[in-house]
Chain A
Amino acid sequence: MAGTVSVIHMTGRRYGSVSSSLAVPALLLMLYLVIPVVYLFFTLPWRDVPGQLADPQAIGALITSLLSATLATVLIALFGVPLGYLLARKEFPARGLLTLLVYLPLVFPPVVSGILLLLLYGPYGLIGTPFASAGLELDSSFAGVVLAQIFVDSPFVIIAARSAFETVDPALEQVAATLGKGSLAIFWQVNLPVARAGILAGLLLGWLRALGEFGATVVMAYHPYTLPVYLYVQLSGTGVDAALPLVLLTLAVSFIGVGLVLWFQHAGRQREGQ
């Protein structure tokens, strides 16, 4: 009896000391991440916030950002989810090379991505020229913003979709096949719904990234202003104080978005019932 008690005591202490020694670095990083946000609330000129947020240019930038990010995310979903599925499930030549190419935009500095896009879609680019002569500018336009966001963000969605599809038990597909379902029906009725939570989380993250995209957008489409570009313009033109209300706005949107991502992931785990 006494032996049992002492064992419990010993293990309890050991776990305690391990987690407390891990807690120190964890806590320090937490503070580093949280303090700037908290500090903002103390330094914000609260009296100016309503007025500056009501500024039509700020509202325009917000609308441009929301619309372009949403459109980009829909387009990424339409093309990226099938690509993620193929990368997860199908054996084909050059799959490794394709995977590498898909990952590349992830490691490019966004400005580099913007330059690459400008070369191709700009007024003198291979694709941009015919569009420009038809009166459709692909750079410095809403289309340019969307093109930049798609280029920078689709890797996130493709990777998320791929790993979501990879976690689908192949036995589910096999059973569905023996139940008479063709491969397209299996994709729609099994793979997609089972991988749904992971894909939705990926899309939401992609949408948030598109919302915050700056580097490629500023090169490809300085106008119309998106929220990050307008923020930068305010910062460089008027100073930090003028940018702060917009910072608050951006933070609010991000906060809601991340909350949704976590909720999707939680809901997905809940259903699979660990």
Chain B
Amino acid sequence: MERSKHHHMTDRVKVVGKDALLTVRLKQQFGNFRLDIDFQVPAGLTVLFGFSGAGKSLTLRSMAGLLHPRQGYVAIGEHVLFDSAAGIDLPAQERHVGYVPQHYALFPHLTVAQNVSFALPEQAAHRGWRKRREERQAQHARVDELLAALELKGLERQYPATLSGGQQQRVALARALAAQPRLLLLDEPFNALDIAVRQRLRDSLKRFQRRFGIPIVLVTHDHDEAQQLADTIVALQHGRVAQAGSVQDIFFTPATPDVARLVGQQNIFGGYLATPADEEYSPARALRVEWLQSEIQTQLAVAQESGDDRYWLPLPDDVSWSASSPRAVISGCIRNDEVLLQRLSGNTMPPLWSAHGTVRWVAELLEAQTHGASVRLLVRPCRGKHAGKEQDRIHSVLELYISRLRWHEIETMPGECLLLEIGPEAIHRFAGSS
């Protein structure tokens, strides 16, 4: 009896194989907020990514069994935690899912060692003292191993209040792991930490995940965090899954305007297929821009009045356009780090199209800010070289990033005009648009 129970405990560690899938489907109305989640991802490090209020924490807590949605299905590999159709809804105690909330929720009245051994079962009094001592020693060894693995040696007797944020985080991880969970849920685990140490601790979390091979679901709204950690990103928006995929998928080919904004692609446009006026190098078909929209300036601007022909975008190569009906609105984004910038020299306007399939826009520089190794520019497309009359401008602003080196070559003052060269690789069309 004792032996079988013991085996059951140790079995739990390795239940989730490398190729196991994490399936989450949840449906629940929370007041005015509707949660309707549906994703299935490989059980690696999954990042639930979204703005605050997207439903990330609700999803996490529903997976932990702390909330009980009316409808849904949650499973890790073959372990079903919740299946409303089959009437299965394991309580949090039986899910074997580790949960680390935002501020770690360490037990303030317990030392580091006591926090970590909190989950360990107490020895039943009816067993022989020898048996109990053996078990106690085994438990002690386990706690010791965890403390060593998470670099908490020497802190065993300290209380949480005396620890740094990073140490607290590691204690919370050790405590969750001590219960031998099948899955680890981390709610914004780096939020409570100083920005300076976040990057280093993210690296160590990644190492930790590889070492213990435990599936992790992590909630964040931070770009860097998502890119640095995720095997799979599940982008949430308004309580729904907007897109799920690799870091590359989400950040390079966002499926919707919402996801584009979430990953920092602010230059969103709408337009339709048309044939530009016959000029040198003009393509047979291109995108005629109807509107440009950016979160930077909230007003939604009409890019051009009818008859104006200056705002065109080249067609990206990788998409088949034949199916698109003419006049159907196509939406996408201009990738903020794929636009070439040049000084506008002389008084002559360069031709609209270039030999290598790029289109040229003139834009007034509004602001330039250092942003890590790059420079963030806000530019406003305009018609002529001298930004002149108000009606000649469009009111939308593009956000562009260029390297610092390039910025020093261009050296333009705010108020002056730049030449933007936009090639097909800078254009991303949202999958959802016709």
Interface residue A223 (Cβ < 8 Å from any Cβ of B): no
Which of B93, B95, B109 is A181 in contact with, Cβ under 8 Å? Answer: B93
Report Cα–Cα, A174/B256, bound state, in Å: 35
Across the interface, which residues of A come within 8 angstroms of B66, CB to CB? 174, 177-178
Q: Which residues of chain B in 73-106 are interfacial with respect to chain A, using CB atoms and an 8 Å cutoff?
A: 91-103, 105
Looking at the complex, which one of B64, B103, B109, B161 makes contact with A196 (CB distance below 8 Å)? B109
Flag if A179 contacts B97 (CB, 8 Å): no
Whole-angstrom CA separation of A190 from B119 in the bound complex: 12
User: Which listed residue, A172, A179, A182, A273, touches B119 by the CB 8 Å rule?
Assistant: A179
**In the complex, A93 has a CB within 8 A of chain B:** no
Q: Are the CB atoms of B118 and A172 closer together than 8 Å? A: no
Which residues between 156 and 178 of chain A lie within 8 Å of chain B, taking CB atoms?
169, 171-172, 174-178
Interface size on B, residues (CB 8 A): 32
The listed residue (A171, A177, A189, A273) touching B93 by CB distance below 8 A is A177
- B105 — nearest CB in chain A belongs to which residue? A171
Query: Across the interface, do B179 and A180 meet the contact criterion of CB distance under 8 Å?
Result: yes
Q: How large is the interface on A (under 10, 10 to 19, 20 to 34, 35 or more residues)?
A: 20 to 34
Interfacial chain A residues near B61, Cβ < 8 Å: 174
Dominant SS among interface residues on chain A: helix
Say yes or no: is A271 at the interface (Cβ < 8 Å to chain B): yes
A39 CB to closest chain B CB (Å) equals: 44
The 8 A CB mask of B406-433 against A (1 = contact, 0 = none) is: 0000000000000000000000000000
B109 touches A178 (CB 8 A): no
Determine the chain A residues whose CB is within 8 A of the CB of B291 once the complex forms: none
A272: chain B residues at CB < 8 Å are: 108, 161
Please give, as numbers and ranges, the residues of chain A lying within 8 Å of B118 by CB-CB distance: 176, 179, 189
Q: Does B51 lie at the interface of the complex (its beta carbon under 8 Å from any beta carbon of A)?
A: no
Q: Which residue of B lies closest to A270 (CB)?
A: B161
Instruction: Give the residues in chain B near A177, CB-CB below 8 Å.
Output: 65-66, 91-93
Contact of B159 among A175, A181, A182, A271 (CB under 8 A): A271
Does A193 make an interface contact (CB < 8 A)?
yes
Q: Does B162 belong to the interface (CB within 8 Å)?
A: yes
CB distance from B208 to the nearest CB of A (A): 19
B105: A residues at CB distance < 8 A: 169, 171-172, 174-175
**Residue A193 contacts which of B96, B102, B109, B119 (CB distance < 8 angstroms)?**
B109
Are B179 and A194 touching (Cβ within 8 A)? Answer: no
* Residues of A close to B97: CB separation below 8 A: 178
Q: Which residue of A lies closest to B66 (CB)?
A: A174
| Complex-state Cα separation, A172 to B161, whole angstroms | 15
> B107 near A171 (CB under 8 angstroms)?
no
Query: Which of B92, B95, B159, B176 makes the CB contact (< 8 A) with A174?
Result: B92
Q: B64 to chain A: which residues have CB within 8 Å?
A: 174, 178
Say if the beta carbon of B380 comes within 8 Å of chain A: no
**Separation of A169 and B107 alpha carbons in the complex (Å):** 10
The distance from the CB of A195 to the nearest CB of chain B, in whole angstroms, is 10
Check if B101 sits within 8 Å of A180, measured CB to CB: no
Taken together as a complex, chains A and B put the C-alpha atoms of A182 and B107 apart, in Å, by 16
Question: How long is the Cα–Cα vector from A88 to B409 in the complex, in angstroms?
Answer: 65
Q: When the two chains form the complex, which single residue of B98, B103, B161, B162 contacts A178, counting CB atoms closer than 8 Å?
A: B98
Is the Cβ of B95 less than 8 Å from the Cβ of A178? yes
Per-residue contact bits, chain A 238-274, to B (CB 8 Å; 1 contact, 0 not): 0000000000000000000000000000000001110
Whether the pair A179, B159 counts as a contact (CB closer than 8 A) is no
Q: How far apart are the CA atoms of A273 and B105 in the complex, in Å?
A: 14
Question: Chain B residue with minimal CB distance to A273?
Answer: B161
- Smallest distance from the beta carbon of A186 to chain B beta carbons, Å? 10
Residues from chain A with Cβ under 8 Å of B175 in the complex: 175, 179
Closest 8 CB pairs of A and B: A273-B161, A171-B105, A179-B119, A177-B92, A178-B99, A171-B101, A193-B109, A175-B105
* 11 A-B residue pairs with CB within 8 Å: A169-B105, A171-B101, A174-B66, A174-B101, A175-B101, A177-B65, A178-B99, A178-B181, A180-B179, A271-B161, A273-B162
Q: B residues within 8 Å of A by Cβ?
A: 61, 64-66, 91-103, 105, 107-109, 118-119, 121, 159-162, 175-176, 179, 181
Given A174-B99, A273-B159, 17 more pairs with CB closer than 8 A:
A172-B105, A174-B101, A175-B105, A176-B107, A177-B65, A178-B65, A178-B66, A178-B179, A179-B119, A179-B175, A179-B179, A180-B179, A190-B107, A193-B109, A272-B161, A273-B160, A273-B162
